[in-house]
Structure 1
Amino acid sequence: MNGHERTIKVLLLEDNPRDVALVAALLEQDALHCDLHRVTTGEDFAAALKNEPFDLIISDYTLPSFNGFAALALRQEVAPDVPFVLFSGSLGEENAVESLKKGATDYVIKQRPERLGPSVRRAIQEAEGQVERRRIEDQLRKQNELFRRIGENVEDLVVVLDVEGRRVYNSPSYRKLLGDPQLLVGTDSFEEIHPDDRERIRLLFRETVATGAGQRTEYRFLLNDGSVRLVESQGSVIRDKEGRVENVVVISRDVTQRKQAEQRLTAHHAMTQALAKSTTLTEAAKRILEIACHEFEWDFGELWTVDTAAKRLRCVEIWHPPSTELNEFVAVSRQTTFAAGEGLPGRVWKTGQPAWVADVAQETNLSNKVLATRLGLRSAIAFPIRLRDETLAVIDFFSSKILSPDDELLGMFATVSSQIGQFIERKQIEEQFRQSQKMEAFGQLAGGVAHDFNNILAVIMGYTTLMMEGEDLSAEVKEQLKEVFSAGERAANLTRQLLTFSRKKEMQVNPLDLNEVIGNMTKMLGRIIGEDIRLQWSYGSNLPTVQADEGMIEQVLMNLVVNARDAMAKGGQLIIGTDRVATDA
């Protein structure tokens, strides 16, 4: 209190007017600007203390109906922070000591009045110091409460380390990863870092301590359950009053999900590119299996396609990193087939839904479980390749790690499955288009051949007709010429069918006997379907004639037969029949 510019409001309990004047003079003499509020009784003292704020209390010890100890007790009750100085000529040493014990700030005996000014000045300074300390303590308390609330609610991991890397403070967010944060205090913070990252992070920490410059980095973090999380950390330093680094604060954030999302996006893009660059399903599958194994740390991938004739799944493509340990697994997969519902691929084929096996050893419906377990394969996943409502193939993967189901990864594979299905459909359409082009080229060739052949037949049949008109021919020769003419008619009929096939003949609608039209095509259709398919005819009786172009009917019948042949790659039986059918008008 340098000169104490402000006015000190003093509550003075004194019944002697001369002592009141003395107090006022002593305070003024000591350059203390005071506003004295005098009371003489306990009632007035209590009223003043309750109704007005005071900076200081000066009290006599002995009054007619009141005393200093009673005043001190009332002050302790009503205004304990206001400094209290006893100023009395009859206090005595024993009572003076007792007053200090009861909470008085100081005492001054009237026989040494010169001590009053310094005593008041000291009391005011101490009171102001206490107020300042309480303000600072309250501010610290609020800051600590704020820090505590932030620590309890923030999801980031906050740790304070000493310069050796031992934990000094751990935020509550550590609880779900490493257990009770309080129990972690004093432990080595590097123990929870993945062994492959530990030395790198230790060197970064030492560099931070040495330079005082915090750094941002990423590393793998080991949880109590053995799982691994990827975290991103930013370090900063706390210095002591000499400027030396005393602690390092590390704020970490779990970025596993973000990194997994980025990884899935990268893998999906690579798989999409593989589909765009591939010409066959097996070529695309091999690239997709390799990408998935690399990106998601699967050790083994397979493609199973549906054999529609045998109604079983067959393994047509396998990928795994270079290793002789998995050769046995490869050989078994190559030799194994699955019916719907059998094994992991068969189950996915039957349900049309993906399946995740977190622990192969606990799976019941897994045909190669014993072998997989012996080779150290722990987890598996399989998903269908679908085109609309049909499952065309199944892809599965195996891992040497126990992996929990990942819905996001399954979702990505579902998208890839749809893309592969579209790839298959696109390739089928391309193949049909190529076949159509071949057929178109063949039709054009057939039309040209038929046209030229008709010209030759016209000459043959014309000369045959002229020869048959000769009168000197024997009956045997005439019969032979008739056979030649009949053969020419049959050849002309064949060329007519070829012209119809090539669409070079104009449509002519006439009444037709379907049985006759079909009968005329028997030999040609037999040659088209090949030897592996048995062709059977079933002709209806008493059929009415139909108004149609004979060539068009033949073309329709030929298209139906070709489609039936393509659908029976392994051979079979084809029945062509006619019948009278009544339909509702």
Structure 2
Amino acid sequence: MKSAGCSIKGCFMKDQLRILVVDDNPDDRALAIRELQRDFSNLRIDQITDATNFALALEADGCDLVITDYQLRWSDGLAVLRAIKNRWPDCTVIMFTGTGSEEVAVEAMKAGLDDYVLKASKHYARLPGAVRLALERKAQWRALKEAESRYLALFNDVLIGLWKTTPEGKIIDANPAMVQTLGYPDCDSLLRVNANDLYVDPGDRKRWQLLIGRDDAVRRYETRMRRRDCSVIWVEENIRAVRDAESRVLYFEGSVEDITERLNLEAQLRQSQKMESIGQLAAGVAHDFNNILTIVKGHTDLLLAKSSVLPELQEPLKKISAAADRAANLTRQLLTFSRRQIIQQRPLDLKEVISNVASMLERTLGEDIVLNFDLARQLPAIYADASMVEQIVINLAVNARDAMPRGGQLIVRTAAADIDAQYVQQNAEARVGQFVCLSITDTGLGMEAQVLSRIFDPFFTTKEVGKGTGLGLATVYGITKLHRGWIEVSSKVGAGTVFRIFLPTTSKQVEPATMKSTEKDVRGGSETILVVEDEAELRLMARQILECYGYRVLEGATGAEALKLWPQHAQEIDLLLTDMVMPEGITGWELAGKLRTEKPDLKVICTSGYSVDLAKMNFDAPQGIRFLQKPFKPQSLALAVRECLDA
């Protein structure tokens, strides 16, 4: 087992970081270590090259992080992952490989993999970023566990509910904390209630009485209780039987702890972890995948636009274009539900957004379903991405349609909602403030509690194979969270379902609606455009599209090349079209900033398949800068350029 250490400026960790690199290819190990050394100082890297060294490493003290290849001469990455998690359950593991597959990635994520990075020359530079993110998540997790420990220690020092009850349910005594937990004004009021009536399911009390065995105790029994105001709380009971000399039960004494908030937080944490794991996988491939789709989609649509294309080729080309659209939509949904999609927000009138999709909803639902709208006339504005809000409405409408196979009624409502502290206590994800509520009500089949608890899980579906991806409601969840809102769902088998989406309001004014050019009637121009894109094929395609519309095009493969071109052509360049993620240390955003410093009126369009920086800032860009999501159609690029130039 070899060891290497290094130190560079700017390392964000004071303590030594110990990393195991499990890879039997010396060249790959050297490249990985070189990239790590560029970003981290005070490293200790142990290189694992065979089974013997790996066994020795497992016997040693723990490490901070493991980077493993998948294909090893003596094992495989999944076996390494399982061995590491078995030895050090909390250890962060990243699979850095060029031989894996989507199936391997999914299996590894299930086994506890923290990230999956493709091993290719242009991906080596991404390894330190993946390591940094993985370690940050680990630190956050540790902080959460420490916070939970502090909370438990504090809670144990505070009196919790204590009471005594007879086997028949008569309450003999209760302490003030118990009275407060159940919401009664005083102890006497609670003593007049039979304990059996406090349980949502009276059978729960009978069940724990049966569970009391030789030790005369039941511990950590979770059940639901009804407070005086009829609200329901989850509690954890610890009960002990007190017997007489003949072993007959005199009474039960025990503690009652309200665990409603804890269960809600645990459910939120589990959901967040699911989204985080799948989101990491989606984000890892989205950038390159969308570049490829842009090339496929662009060249296909360019061919379809030509009158010289043979008739027998038109239908296959249309199918290729449609398939590229479906692939792009799948990637977009993966990024959206995992909250890594870029959003372009502006003040919106929710009523206007719904009106824009009304006709589409009618076509989607069909003739068997009656569609009704109950839209408030005057609503506060929301600060949101219009296309994403439309996606919420469409996805919920499609979900409702599938729940009404024999027809029914769908009601779309909007209303202002003033959320107070009392409401927040009853709804874990709610918060105090002014919101707009969008509700979608159907008269469909409804859902059982077991199904209802999983509806926002990625890929979960009750439909037969081939009838759904399981991403529709997960996408709704992701969009809502991106907009700092929350979702409430109520459903009853045979009585339908109600989805309520709460979105925060804004004081910003809604801009008057303007007529926008369509892709069919977009005009070209004679302006000069600087195209900066490191993918050669994508750069060539962009040039061809823009020249077809009459523009003069200058191009650069990197930000550095663009900066070299700029002094000679600064006066003639009207617009910068740049990718966000590029090599040589200059991003598209940084390039735009440098050029606009010299020429403030320079128009800019940023493109990306996925960018961490863009996702974090939600692209609330200055005037004159726009974003175009990859993959895009030739007409979409032409329209974006024209609108940006004319703005």
Q: Which bin holds the TM-score, normalised by the shorter protein?
A: 0.3 to 0.5
Q: TM-score, normalised by structure 1?
A: 0.33
**Higher Cα radius of gyration:** 1
Larger RCO: 1 or 2 (CA < 8 Å, sep 6+): 2
